[in-house]
């Protein structure tokens, strides 16, 4: 038999390690490969021959790995360019050297492009025994074709939960205290994460990159909320933008009356608009920053289970010696109750596209999302897996990239 | 029999509602009072006769109340001044009108001062049948005499957990990427919350209000960390300050080379120092803001249990008709294993003092906390209570202040 390697790329999520755990467990249940290597820091580490051997991972470590956020194998931002023949040759040489037949690559858009490029290169050069398989992940949920991305749902759950909790916090003072609370989420080009805050049922104003930001309309809505109930809860995606496509954070820095640079993101830009216009006398901003993709003590059970199964599914599919250049994914089944089926698709059909939050799921005047959007999101955040704690904190695997 | 009232004041915590639940359950187990009223928005609402009747709260609601963060009865920032005789007379009149013998007040420094002032006023005017009892809470852990404050440990746990998770996030890229991560916590005058991040075992640099901030020393430490391992994890308390007592955030705005105002807090001030000095090329700031005191899905079991028992204990003590002007609290027992005993103390001995993080628990050069500090903090974050979920999110009681 030959060997396989699994590696991770792009920004961390709270369940990307579950996919690795799935590949490893798949090979323990059905040993298609002698060794399951973990490539450290994605393609960058593989090109430097930095591997760990995950073949005999214990059941306990596998379970703890599934609850560990971020990328336990490390990540990279290195993109293999299609015209960089040297990298392609080097990688195939390393695979040959270590008798690695299959590479499983977990990541987003760029990683699927890498999978497509490598498999095309191998095909063009008549190399049949080196195969490349993609496993999707992004917190942004912006991959096309699949119903949703592993990693998104757990981040969405944390965001909705934080919205609910901070709404309880900001509403606690009497009506005499007028206050706006602004929650800023990730999502440079797609509003999925910001929209998921609406699952809390507490959002007054929602601003997505897919909507057009109109300052006067926004301030009108803030004034209405303050007049009605003295508090106003706003959720904004970091990618919120004006009609001309400029980000509201950047645009504000140009428009600042005092000629000062505005530091920080969309939330602070909105805060400044509110305070300068007098729409409300007080404003707090909560930027969820890295915490939203790293928080893993309330992973969505649906998300974690699916991420794990995608690892299993990728390993299973690889028994077919012609299976390469493909990504595994989930489709939602028709029916009353939420369920998915797993399928495969050429990675090139996913790479370099962006799935936006649908325009017809956005309510007018920043009033949130439609029932259809709610029905799409709700089942994804269901369930909380059992989490093992140690000394009062969740038990996590020591990152493999810090072990060597 | 007469009635009692319970109310909440000051900033929310994730277990302040457990204390209310304890008072209510105490009266169900031993009905010292006909009615247990909840005063809405603290003293401010009581003076406006805004009450709810909590006497017959169901077991299910009591349980959900204990897992609900923030103040379900609402809060206020209204302080009863000792020379404001009108307020004192009005409050005693309202207590007489509703036959309220005992008022339980949950809060921090100011609330304990209110308890002391009201009981003194009643004593001076020969009013023996109106009594005032304090229950402590603050996320800041800055109340004197008691071992620790209810509310602190759950916030500390969330901070330590977030430090661990975001450390996994920031270390994920190869050594070629040099980066500083800054976690900013609450704590204007006391460094307890920032210090608790050290329970994660991952903190390189810790800056507390009790320490003196020295910019050159800080940048030296950043450079050392970056040189050693290419990443540097910094935790800073919002109250971090220079030797002259000025806050580092405020001071930076004066020193800015371009004459610009620095928006935001201590974390952004540090970021600016790092980038301007070139100590590291990249920096991320995570300000935990309201989320740290509102996050309740991983309450510390120790914290929640103690907060609930303080409510029970306050109710029990009130069976003694001479018990007034007192606060209930916990002392840590001597011994190998963590345990507390409950005790009472005049509220005036707690009001208007601040318990600082001990200077001899701080390691030199911002290297974190001593083993003694660790041993103090560790047992407080142990255990996670069972949390009831609904539609994928934690189930919370609808705030009482929004029901009337």
User: Which residues in chain A are closer than 8 Å to B298, comparing Cβ atoms?
Assistant: 297-298
Best residue of A153, A259, A291 to probe chain B, by most B CBs closer than 10 Å: A291
Mean pLDDT of B293-297: 95
Mean pLDDT of B390-404: 94
- Cα B374 from Cα B361, distance rounded (Å): 9
A167 Cβ neighbours under 8 A, 6+ residues apart: A181, A200, A202, A233
Q: Inter-chain contact A173–B295, Cβ cutoff 8 Å?
A: no
Q: Inter-chain contact A41–B285, Cβ cutoff 8 Å?
A: no
User: Which residues in chain A are closer than 8 Å to B285, comparing Cβ atoms?
Assistant: 289
- The pLDDT assigned to A141 comes to 97
Report the b/e string of B101-131 with b at 16+ CB within 10 A.
bbbbbbbbbbbbbbbbbbbbbbeeeebeebb
Averaged pLDDT score across all residues of chain A:
94
- The pLDDT assigned to B38 comes to 98
Q: How far is B78 from chain A (nearest CA, A)?
A: 10
User: Which residues in chain A are closer than 8 Å to B157, comparing Cβ atoms?
Assistant: 392-393
**A76 to chain B: closest CA residue:** B173
How does pLDDT run across A341-399, given as a tens digit for each residue? 999 999 999 998 999 999 999 999 999 999 999 999 999 999 999 999 999 999 999 99
Taking every pair of C-alpha atoms in chain B, what is the biggest distance, in angstroms?
A: 75
- What is the residue-wise DSSP string for B255-292? H-TT-PPPPS-HHHHHHHHHHHHTS-S-EEEEE-TTHH
Which of B172, B389, B399 is the closest to A384 by Cβ?
B389
Ramachandran area for residue A193 (φ above 0: left; ψ -120 to 50: alpha; else beta): alpha
Q: How far is A397 from chain B (nearest CA, A)?
A: 10
Which of B74, B284, B382 is the closest to A172 by Cβ?
B74
- The pLDDT assigned to A264 comes to 55
Higher pLDDT, B77 or B198: B198
- The pLDDT assigned to B83 comes to 86
Q: Inter-chain contact B294–A166, Cβ cutoff 8 Å?
A: yes
Q: Torsions phi, psi of B365, nearest 5?
A: 60, 35
- The pLDDT assigned to B254 comes to 41
Instruction: Give Cα separations from B160 to A392, B197, B298 (angstroms).
Output: 9, 4, 12
Rg of chain B, C-alpha, whole Å: 23
Q: Which residue has the tokens 């939203």?
A: A292
Which of B69, B162, B394 is the closest to A291 by Cβ?
B162
Mean pLDDT of B211-226: 98
How does pLDDT run across B255-285, given as a tens digit for each residue? 434 444 444 589 999 999 999 999 999 999 9
User: Which residues in chain A are closer than 8 Å to B166, comparing Cβ atoms?
Assistant: 290-291, 294
A126, with CB counted inside 10 A (0-12, 13-18, 19+), is exposed
Q: Inter-chain contact B268–A264, Cβ cutoff 8 Å?
A: yes
Helix A266-277 to helix A215-229 angle (10° resolution) is 70
Among the ranges given (A255-269, A333-347, B88-102, B170-184), the one the predictor scored with the smallest mean pLDDT: A255-269
B192 Cβ neighbours under 8 A, 6+ residues apart: B140, B141, B142, B152, B156, B357
- The pLDDT assigned to A256 comes to 39
Q: Inter-chain contact A268–B263, Cβ cutoff 8 Å?
A: yes
Q: How far is A374 from chain B (nearest CA, A)?
A: 11
**A380 to chain B: closest CA residue:** B392
Q: Residue A78 — very low, low, confident or very high, per pLDDT cuts 50/70/90?
A: confident
- Cα B380 from Cα B150, distance rounded (Å): 10
Paired with A284 in beta bridges are A181
pLDDT over 90 (residue B1): no
Q: Inter-chain contact A391–B383, Cβ cutoff 8 Å?
A: no
- Cα A301 from Cα A127, distance rounded (Å): 40
Mean pLDDT of A132-140: 97
How does pLDDT run across A247-273, given as a tens digit for each residue? 998 654 444 344 444 445 899 999 999
- Cα B36 from Cα B53, distance rounded (Å): 6
How does pLDDT run across B27-41, given as a tens digit for each residue? 999 999 999 999 999
* DSSP reduced 3-state for A334: coil
User: Which residues in chain A are closer than 8 Å to B261, comparing Cβ atoms?
Assistant: 258, 260
**A153 to chain B: closest CA residue:** B392
Residue B318, CA atoms < 13 Å, CB-side half-sphere: 34
User: Which residues in chain B are closer than 8 Å to A173, comparing Cβ atoms?
Assistant: 41, 74-77
How does pLDDT run across A178-187, given as a tens digit for each residue? 999 999 999 9
Identify the H or E element spanning B343: strand B340-346
- The pLDDT assigned to A249 comes to 84
Q: Residue A232 — very low, low, confident or very high, per pLDDT cuts 50/70/90?
A: very high
**B10 to chain A: closest CA residue:** A173
- Closest to B186 measured CA to CA, from A286, A292, A280, A184: A286
Q: Are A247 and A209 in contact (CB under 8 A)?
A: no
Whether B140 is a known active-site residue: answer yes
Q: How far is B389 from chain A (nearest CA, A)?
A: 8
Q: Inter-chain contact B164–A393, Cβ cutoff 8 Å?
A: yes
Which of B70, B263, B298 is the closest to A262 by Cβ?
B263
- What is the residue-wise DSSP string for A351-404? TT---PPPGGGBPGGG--B-HHHHHHHGGGG-------EETTEE--PPPGGGT-
Which of B173, B286, B293 is the closest to A76 by Cβ?
B173
Q: Are A126 and A92 in contact (CB under 8 A)?
A: no
A388 Cβ neighbours under 8 A, 6+ residues apart: A63, A64, A67, A394, A395
Q: How far is B345 from chain A (nearest CA, A)?
A: 29
Q: How far is B104 from chain A (nearest CA, A)?
A: 19
- Cα B286 from Cα B264, distance rounded (Å): 11
Identify the H or E element spanning A39: strand A36-39
- The pLDDT assigned to A257 comes to 42
User: Which residues in chain A are closer than 8 Å to B393, comparing Cβ atoms?
Assistant: 157, 160-161, 164, 199-200, 381
Q: Which residue has the tokens 């090109």?
A: A47
Q: Torsions phi, psi of A136, nearest 5?
A: -75, 150
Q: Residue A404 — very low, low, confident or very high, per pLDDT cuts 50/70/90?
A: low
Catalytic residue among B140, B142, B211, B287: B140
- Cα A350 from Cα A352, distance rounded (Å): 7
Q: Inter-chain contact B393–A160, Cβ cutoff 8 Å?
A: yes
A257, with CB counted inside 10 A (0-12, 13-18, 19+), is exposed
Averaged pLDDT score across all residues of chain B:
94
Residue A272 structure tokens: 């400044």
Q: Residue A83 — very low, low, confident or very high, per pLDDT cuts 50/70/90?
A: confident
The 10 Å Cβ neighbour count of residue A254 is 10
Q: Inter-chain contact A264–B263, Cβ cutoff 8 Å?
A: yes
**B201 to chain A: closest CA residue:** A393
Mean pLDDT of A190-208: 98
Catalytic residue among A140, A204, A287, A303: A140
Residue A398 structure tokens: 């020591």
The 10 Å Cβ neighbour count of residue A322 is 7
Identify the H or E element spanning B222: helix B215-229
| Cβ-based contacts under 8 A for chains A and B | 184
Q: Inter-chain contact A70–B268, Cβ cutoff 8 Å?
A: no
Sheet (strand A231-237) strand order: A205-207, A231-237, A179-185, A283-287
Instruction: Give Cα separations from A289 to A184, A298, B24, B384 (angstroms).
Output: 8, 17, 39, 25
Which of B262, B387, B393 is the closest to A263 by Cβ?
B262
Which of B162, B173, B290 is the closest to A75 by Cβ?
B173
User: Which residues in chain A are closer than 8 Å to B399, comparing Cβ atoms?
Assistant: 168, 171-172
Residue B243 structure tokens: 């030797």
The 10 Å Cβ neighbour count of residue B319 is 11
Q: Inter-chain contact A378–B384, Cβ cutoff 8 Å?
A: no
User: Which residues in chain A are closer than 8 Å to B289, comparing Cβ atoms?
Assistant: 284-287
Q: Inter-chain contact A286–B290, Cβ cutoff 8 Å?
A: yes
Which of B174, B394, B399 is the closest to A41 by Cβ?
B174
- What is the residue-wise DSSP string for A287-325? E-TTHHHH--TT--HHHHHHHHHHHHHHHHHTTSTT--S
Q: Residue A169 — very low, low, confident or very high, per pLDDT cuts 50/70/90?
A: very high
Q: Residue A122 — very low, low, confident or very high, per pLDDT cuts 50/70/90?
A: very high
Cα angle A390, A391, A393 (rounded to 5 degrees) comes to: 65
Residue B344 structure tokens: 């009472």
Percent of chain A with pLDDT over 90: 92
H helix runs in B79-151, sequence order: 85-97, 109-124
């Amino acid at each position: 038999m030959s060997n396989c390697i699994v590696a991770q790329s792009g920004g961390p999520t709270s369940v990307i390690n579950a996919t690795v755990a799935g590949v490893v467990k798949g090979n323990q249940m059905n040993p298609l490969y002698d060794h399951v290597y973990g490539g450290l820091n994605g393609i960058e580490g593989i090109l430097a021959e930095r591997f760990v051997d995950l073949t005999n991972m214990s059941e306990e470590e596998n379970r703890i790995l599934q609850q560990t956020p971020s990328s336990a194998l490390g990540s990279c931002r290195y993109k293999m360019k299609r015209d960089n023949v040297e990298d392609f040759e080097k990688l195939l040489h390393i695979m040959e050297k270590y008798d690695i037949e299959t590479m499983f690559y977990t990541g987003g858009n760029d990683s699927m492009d890498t999978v497509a490029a490598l498999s095309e290169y191998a095909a063009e050069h008549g190399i049949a025994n080196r195969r490349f398989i993609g496993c999707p992940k992004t917190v942004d949920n912006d991959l096309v074709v699949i119903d949703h991305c592993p990693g998104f749902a757990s981040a969405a759950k944390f965001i909705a939960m934080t919205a609910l909790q901070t709404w309880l916090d900001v509403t606690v003072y009497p009506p005499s205290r007028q206050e706006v609370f602004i929650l800023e989420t990730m999502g440079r080009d797609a509003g999925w994460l910001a929209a998921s805050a609406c699952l809390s049922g507490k959002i007054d104003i929602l601003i997505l990159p897919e909507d057009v930001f109109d300052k006067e309309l926004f301030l009108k809505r803030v004034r209405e909320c303050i007049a009605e109930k003295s508090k106003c809860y706003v959720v904004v995606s970091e990618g919120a933008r004006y009609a001309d496509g400029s980000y509201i954070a950047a645009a504000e820095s140009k428009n600042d009356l005092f000629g000062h640079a505005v530091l920080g993101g969309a939330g602070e830009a909105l805060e400044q608009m509110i305070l300068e216009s007098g729409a409300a006398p007080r404003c707090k901003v909560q930027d969820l920053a890295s915490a939203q993709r790293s928080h893993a003590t309330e992973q969505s059970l649906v998300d974690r289970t699916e991420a794990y199964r995608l690892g299993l599914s990728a390993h299973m599919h690889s028994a077919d010696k012609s299976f390469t250049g493909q990504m595994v994914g989930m489709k939602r089944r028709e029916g009353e109750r939420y369920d998915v089926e797993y399928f495969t698709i050429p990675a090139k059909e996913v790479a370099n596209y962006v799935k936006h939050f649908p325009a017809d799921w956005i309510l007018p005047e920043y009033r949130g999302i439609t029932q259809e959007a709610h029905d799409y999101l709700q089942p994804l955040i269901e369930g909380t897996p059992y989490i093992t704690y140690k000394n009062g904190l969740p038990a996590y695997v020591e990152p493999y990239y810090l072990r060597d």
